[in-house]
Amino acid sequence: EKGGYDHFMLKEIFEQAKVVKDTLMPRLPEDQNRIVLDDIKLSKKELENINKIYIVACGTAYYAGIVGKYLLERIARVPVVAEVASEFRYRDPVIDENTLMIVLSQSGETADTLAALRLAKQGGARVIAIVNVVGSSIAREADDILYTWAGPEIAVASTKAYSAQLAAMYLLTCHIALELGRMNEEEFKELRDELYQLPRKVNRVLNKAERIKRLADKYVNSKNVFYVGRGLDYMVSMEGSLKLKEVAYVHSEPYAAGELKHGPIALIEDTTLVVGIVTQAELYDKTVSNLKEVKARNGKVLAIAVKGNTEIEKVVDDVIYIPQTHWMFSSILANIPQQLFAYYVSTALGHDVDKPRNLAKSVTVE
């Protein structure tokens, strides 16, 4: 049932081209200049009345949510607050009829996320759920649904569901921007063409698994790992750090690259690994100067960069390249090396990668 793979986690990582395709393609028919979202009834008029969006989820689903926050604010120009459900539900947030809440959940059963959804509905908000399990509690209680077609996820650590959640966020961002007139047809078609290419590009990153395994072996004894980036890269770094913690039990932290010098740089020494994500062209120089500061303090740097950028090789110890794509969509591609890295560090250390200690697949108690 593991389809020839050693573990479910690896199998699920390798399913991601299909998952991204299944989530995107039925919603992007070539003969229509719109996104087809069958289970979203929210009308253009209702959307125009929305003045604030909350994105609420837990864990990996939350990290997909914060990528969505960046995309929605930047492209659709609506203010977005993203928050973990366990905080949101207890802080008496401002909710009214002009509030849109987007919740994300693989299982559709996470207790805190479900409670946050109920709180939003009580306050009169409209709720869209991005959810993987059809008929789950969150799917049943939300007003609108965008299903992620990731299929059952068996490994405790979430991998393919995150990619599907990001794909869903790309769709929802384009949909809202189109409805609000903040994206024109020309712009949409360009993005759609790029989305059509994405599953193939996912496979190109997966083809680097052997190389990433060698890098995992090289850095397996790192004492502390920082994942750093700016903008969307910073959002993606959070998921990379979580994956390493939960399956490899290696202490790691995500950090906004510009914040390193405000404290954590004190921890950099020769046993520290910094994974630097540098896919966002307009922030590239800024992050690279932070990576140079790490090197100057004897830290090791592994970069995730965009193909064609050979300059970075002069600065860092190792580079994993991802294919070029639109800046919005590099989030899926940049995360795949992080998943593989965590997987290979975990298995090199002999851990039970599919069932990490202390973790449950679905957290139905708070």
Q: Which stretch binds ligand F6R (CB under 6 A): 99-107, 144-152, 222-230, 256-264?
A: 99-107
Cα separation of 38 and 44, whole Å? 14
Q: Is 106 in the site for ligand F6R (CB under 6 A)?
A: yes
Q: Is 331 in the site for ligand F6R (CB under 6 A)?
A: no
Q: Is 2 a catalytic residue?
A: no
Cβ proximity to ligand F6R: between 256 and 363 the closer is: 363
Q: Which of 2, 121, 245, 361 is catalytic?
A: 361
Instruction: Return the closest-CA partner of residue 330 out of 279, 275, 286.
Output: 279
Q: Which stretch binds ligand F6R (CB under 6 A): 7-15, 59-67, 71-79, 304-312?
A: 59-67
Please tell me whether residue 303 adopts helix, strand or coil conformation.
strand
Q: Looking at 16, 86, 105, 335, which residue binds ligand F6R (CB under 6 A)?
A: 105
**Residue 185 CB neighbour total at 10 angstroms:** 10
218 to 247, contacts with ligand F6R by CB under 6 A? 246
Cα separation of 288 and 143, whole Å? 44
Cα separation of 11 and 295, whole Å? 35
Q: Is 110 in the site for ligand F6R (CB under 6 A)?
A: yes
Q: Give me the half-sphere count of Cα atoms (radius 13 Å) on the Cβ side of residue 344.
A: 19
Tokens of residue 67, six digits: 């990528």
Q: Looking at 17, 61, 305, 336, which residue binds ligand F6R (CB under 6 A)?
A: 61
Q: Is 107 in the site for ligand F6R (CB under 6 A)?
A: yes
Q: Looking at 59, 65, 68, 229, which residue binds ligand F6R (CB under 6 A)?
A: 59
Smallest separation, CB 346 to ligand F6R (Å): 12
Cβ proximity to ligand F6R: between 309 and 362 the closer is: 362
Residue with tokens 């929605």: 72
Q: Which stretch binds ligand F6R (CB under 6 A): 42-50, 103-111, 228-236, 266-274?
A: 103-111
How many residues sit close enough to ligand F6R to count as binding (CB under 6 A)?
14
Cα separation of 165 and 359, whole Å? 21
Q: Which stretch binds ligand F6R (CB under 6 A): 14-22, 66-74, 107-115, 318-326?
A: 107-115
Cβ proximity to ligand F6R: between 101 and 265 the closer is: 101
| Per-residue buried b or exposed e for 296-320, using 16+ beta carbons within 10 Å of the residue's own CB | eeebbbbbbbbeebeebeebbbbbb
Crossing angle of the two packed helices 16-24 and 330-348, in degrees rounded to 10? 150
Cα separation of 16 and 336, whole Å? 9
Cα separation of 51 and 80, whole Å? 9
Cα separation of 347 and 25, whole Å? 34
Cβ proximity to ligand F6R: between 50 and 157 the closer is: 157
111 to 170, contacts with ligand F6R by CB under 6 A? 113, 157-158
Which residues contribute to the site for ligand F6R (CB under 6 A)? Answer: 58-61, 105-107, 110, 113, 157-158, 246, 362-363
